[in-house]
Amino acid sequence: MHQRQIPFLRLFLPWAAGIVAGVWQDRPVPGLAQGLLAAAAFMLFFVRIRYAYRFRWVFGLLVAVVLFLAGYWHAVQYDERKQANHFSHSGAAVQYFTGIVYDAPSRGSKIKIPLRLEAAGPSAGALRPCSGQVLLFFEPTPASERLVYGDRLWIQTPIRPVEAPKNPDAFDYRRYLHFQNIHFQAFVKDRSYGVIATGQGHPLWRVAYRWRLRLLEVLRDYFPGRDEYAVASALLVGYKDELSEDLRASYAETGSMHALAVSGTHVGLLYAGMLVLLRRIPWRGQSRRWGETSLALAGIWAFALVTGATASVLRASVMFTLYLVSKAARRASLVWNILGASAFCLLILNPYLLLDAGFQLSYAAVAGMVFFYPWFQKITPPLPKWAGEGWKILLIGVAAQIGTLPLSLYYFHQFPVYFWLAGWVVVLGGAVFLWGGSILVLLSAVAPVPAEWLGWGLYRLVWGMNQLIGYIQHLPGSVVSGIWISAWAAVLLYLFVGALAGAIHYRQPRWLLAASVLLLALGVCRFGQNITCIHQRQVTLYHTNRHFLLDFFDGEKRYTVSDCPGARQERFAAQAHRWAHGIREAIVLPAGPETNLADGPVRVRPPVIQFHHKKFVLIDDSLWLDDPAGPPTPVDVLLVHNNPKIPPGVCLRQFRCRLVICSAANSHWRVERWKAACRKSGVPVFDVREKGAWVEAI
């Protein structure tokens, strides 16, 4: 493969680097747009002149620099808050606004609806035209359940910026929404909103969402079981709101979650099924070539629209479009060039896609399959025909796993050991279901009795898939969890995979040497991380509503004081932070009034908890004071929890401390009383509800 055969991949690299720099810096450069226009004009002039062959690199360097700066400018300007008429620039608190629902609502414990604003103001009589997007949260009611794409709404409620995560190393929902160009949210109560008009938005999207709802209704008729309906709707139309937490965990821990997120695999299976039908149409010559291409593209893009045009589906749809058009025009192109061209086009439409996990995983999986699968086939000995197809599925899964491994470890912190076994289940079962589900939709409209038979068969198929995935999940050692790598470690790991691929392709020692050096660098990074974990001493009070969760890290051990009733809430608040610090052993410390426990560096004698030389006093309803009139007891930190009825002044007189921390389980007015008392005493206060978790190294 010569570099001249992959021009779009070469253009994509500086373009993507510029987008990453723009997202990282997020600072407008004065005059950059005018400079890019001037550079484009100069490049057009430069193309027309003749120059020596040895200076060809000058033009290439100029193109790379211009693409880098263009990507930087595009990423900075794409932020909705840079628009001159954005509602946040008005200076007034927005209490009343109107807008159009521009995406399908997401239903769960709350109904989440994205709204594109048209007008906003402090009241209904002071509205001004504006731009911007707001994520609305509704309580599930009959009225909110009826809201769909294209509804124009009026809302009367305050708009607030999306908050940062309250716990360290937790999933950053604000960053996730930022890459969807959403930076504000509003919690809407019943009777504080209404529908002004329906049928707004783009007609194409209205039709797509209407068909999506129709398909979901058909699936609900033939899949009465909750889990079966949830998987069927995810497989066919990418609708994942009905998936339970246990079902998500089963598919995630077996490496099969990609089957429930409509992706390039689904598009490829759809195209293969359409190709079988299209080749039976009796047309000839050039009309056959372009007719098949047109109908195939119409089906692929209709599928992309109905499934919500996710990043992976868009990637696959654009790739298939470029491939089919080049094939119809009889201009063959390398897959690497098609990958670069599709990514380049998608990032022109939305530069934030580059930071989307689905987009990254999708391209990484395809890159892994394109490179490693042919090599695996070369080294595979001849197999019987009956084993050939199954072996191909295994090799494709392994190749895709190599491509996505660094990203999977970085985003999900786990490795599914039996991904190859689950791959057979979801690929074969998913292929049968996708084709069968498409036929079911057609039969349900014209032949109800055959549709009933087919629906029963597909229902049993999905039930069997769920059962097999559950069995694989519970196999011994099915998942290695708690793997925490930094972004730089993920980059080094990809460089190692790239060097290893270069060694396989070029068969030169320098590539193997580069892979060895990168592997050594990864080992050094890991060793340094382990040394840091061994010598760490840290205390963390997490942000948990209505509960208390306190961790003491001493090396690779943690000592926990908690009143969380279930493990789920504790994992949600603290698991990522514990993984990030390499905790391998857990000791739960009871904190009842009769506890007198001494365990290593932690001593508990309620209400005092001592960690090494630091003393913490837990002030809650169970606290009793020995002698309020006696001399003060010196401690380091007062932990105020669960709205204690003891007057703050009395506690501050008995316990002389350097800091007061109010947990998130305290009411706002109670925290304000403590803040007022602490101001009089000159003691600082840390409000966990307001600032997030409190973390301090000892």
DSSP string, 195-206: EEESS-S-HHHH
In this predicted structure, what is the pLDDT of residue 514?
93
Residue given tokens 């519970």 in the structure block: 474
The DSSP letter of residue 87 is: G
Alpha carbon 444 to chain centroid, angstroms: 35
At 158, which amino acid appears?
P
Rounded to 5°, angle at Cα 245 from 400 and 233: 70
> Smallest Cα–Cα separation from 400: which of 377, 418, 373, 427?
373
**Angle of helix 448-473 versus helix 419-446 axis, rounded to 10:** 170
Query: H or E segment at 131?
Result: none
CB 536 within 8 A of CB 552: no
Q: What is the pLDDT of residue 304?
A: 80
Give dist(CA 310, CA 357) in Å, integer.
Answer: 11
- Average pLDDT, consecutive stretches of 10 residues, N- to C-terminus, the chain (698 residues): 75 94 90 87 72 68 90 94 90 88 88 95 89 94 91 94 94 93 93 92 84 87 91 85 88 84 73 76 70 84 76 76 78 80 90 90 88 88 78 87 92 91 87 87 86 93 94 91 91 92 87 93 90 94 92 94 84 93 88 58 86 91 60 90 88 91 93 94 94 94
Residue type, 116: R
On the 0-12 / 13-18 / 19+ scale of CB atoms within 10 A, 539 is buried
Quick check: 351 and 22 in contact, CB under 8 A? yes
pLDDT of residue 8: 85
Interatomic CA distance for residues 33 and 39, integer angstroms: 10
pLDDT at 321: 84
Angle at 595 between CA 594 and CA 598, to 5 degrees: 155
pLDDT at 98: 95
Residue 434, token pair as written in the block: 């996708």
| Contact call for residues 36 and 66 (beta carbons, < 8 A) | yes
pLDDT at 626: 55
At 416 the three-state DSSP class reads strand
Cβ(409)–Cβ(485) under 8 Å?
yes
Of 82, 654, 6, 626, the closest CA to residue 341 belongs to 6
Which of helix, strand or coil describes residue 439?
A: helix
pLDDT in tens, 567-619: 888 999 999 999 999 999 998 887 555 555 555 788 888 888 999 999 999 98
Q: What is the pLDDT of residue 506?
A: 85
Please give the C-alpha separations between residue 315 and each of 101, 147, 230, 361, in angstroms, as whole numbers. 25, 29, 24, 11
